[in-house]
Chains A and B, each alone.
Chain A
Amino acid sequence: MDIPYTVEVRRDTGLNNGKIGIWLFLASEVMLFGALFASYILIRTGSPSWPRGDTLLDVPLATFNTIVLITSSVTMVMAWASLMRRKFGTFRIYMGATILLGFVFLIVKYFEYSHHFAIGEGPSHNNFLAIYFTLTGLHMLHVFGGMVVNAYFWGPGAKLYQTNPVWFTNRVEHSGLFWHFVDLVWIFLFPTLYLL
């Protein structure tokens, strides 16, 4: 038994199942991060003093990380575009680059975190660091999750390309949508935490 509209598009909605699924999932993710941002605003406005992000955090490193993530979004699009043009070899290169850039992001983050812990500024230090660790930690989990999915499409999942290239391309597109969302969250996080 096959589920209809897994690959092909339903005519009256103009979408396949996966795309609706991923957009709905992203909607719930917006609510998740939205709630955290709202909490951030509430805690910050309710607090008598609030440190500026750049006094506690490393802005140049984060800027570098921002560039890394934006670049990875570009390579992600390129990976999907290569599949659309049925160039599997270039897809592998771009997808590999996306995963690698994700790694770079996590490694930089690791250095940031370990620096904070080394000087005793853990999440319990103050509420700024509490929200910083919570937001960036949750974001890192998302980066990691996206990398796992991308790695699957780069490696074992790519077998699908041989049998059903359209379906595979769709899947990469959906994973790309998630990756862009993760990127977007960071683009909100960076100014909110590091600059404001």
Chain B
Amino acid sequence: MSNPADVVHAQHVAHEAHHEELGFWRKYVFSTDHKVIGIQYSITGLLFLLFGFSLMMLMRWQLAYPGVPLPLIGGLFGDARMPGGTMLPEFYNELGAMHGTIMVFLGVVPLAVGGFGNFVLPLQIGAPDMAFPKINMLSYWSLFLGGMTMLGSFFVPGGAAQSGWTSYAPLSVIAGTGQTWWLIGMIFLITSSLLGALNFLTTTIQLRAKGLTFMRFPFFVWAQFVTSFLLLLAFPPLEAAGVMQLMDRVAGTSFFMPSGLIVSGQVLANAGGGNAVLWQHLFWFLAHPEVYVLILPAMGIVAEIIANNTRKPLWGYRAMVYSLVFLGFMSFIVWAHHMFMTGMGTAMAAFFQTTTMIISIPSVVILTSLLLSLWGGSIRFNTPMLFATAFLPMFGIGGLTGLPLGLNISDIPLHDTYYVIAHFHYVVAPGTIFALMAGIYYWYPKATGRKMNETLGKIHFAGSLVFMNVVFMPMFIVGLAGVSRRLFDAGSGYDFAQPTMHWNVVSSWGAWLMGVFQIPFIFNFFWSIRNGEKVGDNPWEATTIEWAAPSPPPHGNFAVAPQAYRGPYEYSVPGAAKDFTPQHEAS
């Protein structure tokens, strides 16, 4: 019984005997346990990712074969959306707007922040639960309501929101009823994120184990910490903007409606005097930090997995942490680089270009540190590690192709083309989503006590890696050819788009085949719950505190509050008995 984890385990067994039993509803549905909520978030996030992906697969049909009726399922969508199986532009717009909204706000954020944050963060800091368990539950159910509102909006007359995930005014103000639903849904989602963020922050500050100073935090904890600050401070302006747009739509105000706006040849009868660019400012004041909300947890996950599987401490941990904090701060003053197209003045453009170039430095520091961490390691290429290593070049492509977009002069010709789509998808899809997949494979044993199947995992990885690139690489080509990213028919009506039309077919087949390669994952995910290889508390021989808890951890996590004695990544310490020295082990 020299291993403290064993002690904890044994005491837990004794403890369990007088543990109160909760009913099914309180235990699995309206639970206040951070692990159950984390799993709820993850499942919800995964389902929405799948749903958002399906919307995109429909769009890809229209882009590859514009105007051709969709075989087999084309008739299911009704005459208002796809008469005879041919997609109407409005339905394409619905799909586009909802794909973006769902992937960002209901897919990646719930999984990366709500799911991993909730499940892993309290365990990693040695806390029994979140600081405010009831608020935590409220946060999940608020997300759930927001998600249902978004889904419900597909069934209102005129369909779901069609003004893009950015909902630019004035288009969004004069759009159909779906947009009102979108706004109400967003208010639920924002509430969820705010409640979640203040919970994470309080938990991290207050409930970290004894001896776990900030510089002993695993990088994942730091990533979630900074992310929570971004959510806390960036979302309220979007909430304000949402309220104003709701007022514009419902109460007839003109916050975003300029005077004398002509729609279909008729002057709109509103008071006018509003400012359409104001919406963009408020939206991007959220949405740029949101980009970091999407990427920072991913970096955190990748850092954990790389340190664990190279059996080495992270290279430049301190520099990474400082970069992270700096990144978080800078992300609040770069938003207008999304808005060079609004014709902003040179002084303002110069400011935002400068900050944009500056913000790339800490990102590069983190990515480089992760890359250098591989140097000289005895790397174990298991599924989580494969995804984590693939993250590095994929995110690298995404990041580097973003540089021309940060400069006014090169952004203007590229901004409304497929180049932008390719750029940010490289950041989010093979970037963040790969990291999230890595995280699922990595922490699955903690949640279930079993490993996911490695062979299926590797098939999933190989297929995803290949086809991610088949999907997005052609978009750079299409984008550089100048094809607008908002055309429902991929530009088939324009002569200049003709030379690149065949790339859309390649891209689309890539997307559908990537869909096929998610099937092993889905199967693996459910199959392994009962049939995966049974493992102990610390299957990856990791150093961080979450591995001290039993797998799966009981309500309350640790029978005895753990204590941190050292930094997070004490791997291969010279002279140590084994190649890892857990944080919670007294020397």
Contacts and interface: CB of A to CB of B under 8 A. Distances in A.
Nearest to B270: A124
Interface residues of B, number: 45
Interface in A18-62: 20-21, 24-25, 27-29, 31-36, 39, 42-43, 46-47
B232 interface: yes
B556 interface: yes
A24 B244 CA distance: 24
Interface string B262-277: 0000000011011100
A5 B127 CA distance: 11
A31 B133 contact: no
Given A3-B131, A39-B255, A134-B244, A126 B271 contact: yes
Interface in B35-93: none
- By secondary structure, the A interface counts as helix
A2 B194 CA distance: 24
B285 interface: yes
Contact of A21 (B131, B133, B237, B253): B131
Interface string A1-17: 11111100010010111
A70 to B, nearest CB: 25
A124 B271 contact: yes
A85 interface: no
B232 A124 contact: no
A31 B193 CA distance: 14
B587 to A, nearest CB: 22
Contacts of A125: 271
Nearest to A37: B240
A28 B235 contact: yes
A187 interface: no
B255 A43 contact: yes
A1 B129 contact: yes
23 contacts: A4-B207, A5-B207, A25-B198, A27-B232, A28-B197, A28-B232, A28-B235, A28-B236, A31-B237, A35-B239, A35-B241, A39-B240, A39-B255, A42-B278, A122-B251, A123-B253, A124-B251, A127-B253, A127-B254, A130-B255, A133-B247, A133-B251, A134-B255
B198 A123 contact: no
Contacts of B556: 1
A138 interface: yes
A13 to B, nearest CB: 6
B225 to A, nearest CB: 12
Contacts of B247: 123, 130, 133-134
Nearest to B258: A46
Contacts of A130: 247, 251, 253-255, 271
Interface of B: 128-133, 135, 194, 197-199, 201-202, 205-207, 232-237, 239-241, 243-244, 247, 251-255, 270-271, 273-275, 278, 281-282, 285, 555-556, 561
A32 B240 contact: yes
Interface residues of A, number: 40
Nearest to B255: A130
Interface of A: 1-6, 10, 13, 15-17, 20-21, 24-25, 27-29, 31-36, 39, 42-43, 46-47, 122-127, 130-131, 133-134, 138
Contacts of A20: 131, 201-202, 205-206
Given A3-B207, A21-B198, A133-B251, A27 B233 contact: yes
Given A13-B206, A130-B253, A47 B237 contact: no
A70 B234 CA distance: 30
Contacts of A16: 206
Contacts of B199: 21
A29 B232 CA distance: 9
* 7 closest cross-chain pairs (CB), A and B: A124-B252, A130-B253, A35-B237, A32-B236, A31-B236, A35-B240, A1-B556
A172 B436 CA distance: 41
Contacts of A21: 131-132, 135, 198-199, 202
A95 B135 CA distance: 25
A136 B569 CA distance: 52
A40 to B, nearest CB: 10
Contacts of B130: 3
Contacts of B273: 43, 46-47, 126-127
A25 B138 CA distance: 15
Contacts of B255: 39, 43, 127, 130-131, 134
Contact of A17 (B202, B235, B252, B555): B202
Contacts of B198: 21, 24-25, 28
A127 B274 contact: yes
A135 to B, nearest CB: 10
Contacts of B135: 21
A124 B270 CA distance: 7
